[in-house]
Amino acid sequence: MQSPLPVRDGVNATRLRLPDEGPWNTAMDYMMHRWGHIDPQGIEDRFDAGEIVGEGGAPLDRATRLEDHTFIWYYRTLPPESRIPVELNILHQDEHLLVVDKPHFLPTTPGGTYIQESALVRLRNQLELPDLIPMHRLDRMTAGVLLLSTNPETRGKYQVLFEKRQVQKEYECVSAAQPAAGHPAVDFPVVVRNRMTKSRSYLLAEVIDGEPNAETRIDLLETFDAGTHRRGLYRLEPHSGKTHQLRVHMASLGLGIVNDAFYPDLLDKAPDDYARPLQLLARGIRFVDPISKEPVSYRSRLTLSEAPAAQP
């Protein structure tokens, strides 16, 4: 559903669905019920200023009845954020696409405590492209190639490629050279298939019984010594895009990715350690461009800090 409010400071207006019924007479009563304990004066001021709108951009006031609108939009008050000390690098830009190297620690889209400090909001503000939308997502702790649409009129053509799995992605990671104790040896390349699920209320993805919905081809590129550890550089080719898929599939082989705080074991929450990024990189992405009809390939210029002379 199209927002009647434009992007402001790189951030979309928030959409809220009003309940069909309840003990609230007005839209403001409902918002006070939800958030009045945080900023009641701010809610009243927004209604008085006409900053809360319904479909078509019609401003609401304190007396607007609950049943007059199904959806309303408004701008959140953004909390101050500390800048994440990493930078985005542009790999390609044209009238349809923007391709960037997303660094570790920077989320793809706003959420939680990261709003201005997300790749999307940074790029919208930096490039003055309010219509910018990511075509896929990388986990906050994963670095590498990120594709974004710059043109709403052609966006659907690229979205279809992802929906039909006509985009090939390649990742690299650093892990142990041999599976952990208790796991069988692996003959590479290997294909891992299972059924994964991820609840919004729980940090970790889980493997459950049922028809596989996640598949990754994994190959060992080389092994090397890292201090007292023998490690491996791996190529990962996912054929699906489940949350944390690559991390879960590597851990399932007894090859948890270096500096992974989630898999195979969930570690205690700690501040980001910028010297120890997750050793997972979206190395490349390729597809047949739906506009030019030509095959295209974009490769990351980043390297994994614990990989031996990994080449873009």
Q: Is the pLDDT of residue 311 over 50?
A: no
Q: Which residue bears the tokens 């985005």?
A: 88
What mean pLDDT do residues 41-54 have? 94
pLDDT digits (tens, 9 = 90+) for 59-76: 999 999 999 999 999 998
pLDDT tens-digit series, residues 98-110: 999 999 999 999 9
Is the preceding peptide bond at 4 cis, omega within 30 degrees of 0? no
* Rounded (10°) angle between helices 27-35 and 40-48: 150
**Model confidence at 312, in pLDDT bands (50, 70, 90)?**
very low
pTM of the model: 0.90
**33 half-sphere exposure, CB direction, 13 A CA radius:** 12
Residue 310 has pLDDT above 50, yes or no: no
pLDDT score, position 191? 97
Counting residues of the chain whose pLDDT is more than 70, the rounded percentage is: 99
Chain segment 89-145, per-residue pLDDT in tens: 999 999 999 999 999 999 999 988 899 999 999 999 999 999 999 999 999 999 999
Alpha-carbon torsion (275, 280, 283, 288), positive or negative: negative
Task: Please say whether the beta carbons of 97 and 127 come within 8 A.
Answer: no
**Torsion angle, CA of 99/104/106/109, rounded to 10 degrees?**
50
pLDDT digits (tens, 9 = 90+) for 147-198: 999 999 999 999 999 999 999 999 999 999 999 999 999 999 999 999 999 8
- For the chain, the average pLDDT equals 94
Q: Average pLDDT, stretch 204-231?
A: 93
Q: b or e along 208-222 (b: 16 or more beta carbons within 10 Å of the residue's beta carbon)?
A: eeeeeebbbbbebee
Q: Is 7 exposed, middle or buried (0-12, 13-18, 19+ CB in 10 A)?
A: middle
